[in-house]
Amino acid sequence: MDVGSVMKREVVSIRADQTLEEAIRLLVDKRVGTLPVVDEQARLVGILGLREILQLCWPTLLDMLGNYDFVRDFGVLERNDISAEDRAKPVGQLMQPATRVEVDCGLLRAEAVMRQHQLRDLPVVDEQNRLVGLASWVDVGVAFLRHRSLSQDRP
């Protein structure tokens, strides 16, 4: 099995020249955690994740603490917001390089890439680096388990 057979083909993406405000609206409206960043020809140029956006409004205190178990409530620290200046920035300034696999990539390799780069969503591209899908950790894991369990049921 390859990743192309289990990926989501309808992918919400954004261009590098669009603003962070537009990215936030897409994430909220479409309830996704990863936005592949594409150029005018739908070629993958980067990735913008919910984690990177949330870091703009999370207090730096969270990065300094190693253990949160003793904190019952963060109080006023929970009221941080993303500044208007940050919201106006183009996505291209905030995106990360995109880790990707090709549409014919095997499931085990896709899982290995996701594990190595600590990804929950993996962009899938064609031979011209055009975005053709997105495979989640769940998509790949469930397909791998389904394939393994069905093959073991056969005599």
Check residue 149 and give its pLDDT.
Answer: 72
* Reported confidence tier of residue 146, pLDDT bands at 50, 70, 90: confident
Stronger pLDDT, 109 or 56, i.e. the higher one? 109
Q: Which two tokens stand for residue 22?
A: 């537009």
How far is residue 132 from each of residues 34, 41, 43, measured CA to CA in Å?
Answer: 15, 12, 9
64 pLDDT more than 90: no
Check residue 76 and give its pLDDT.
Answer: 45
3 state DSSP class of 27: helix
Residue 60: give its domain's CATH number.
3.10.580.10
Check residue 145 and give its pLDDT.
Answer: 87
Q: Kindly tell me the number of DSSP H helices and DSSP E strands found in the chain.
A: 7, 6
Each residue's pLDDT tens digit, 70-124 = 555 555 455 557 888 989 999 999 999 999 999 999 999 999 999 999 999 999 9
Cα angle 100, 103, 107; round to 5? 80
Each residue's pLDDT tens digit, 13-44 = 999 999 999 999 999 999 999 999 999 999 99
134's enclosing H/E stretch is: strand 131-136
pTM assigned to the model: 0.81
* Reported confidence tier of residue 147, pLDDT bands at 50, 70, 90: confident
Domain encompassing residue 119: 3-153
Cα angle 102, 51, 59; round to 5? 160
Number of domains in the chain: 1
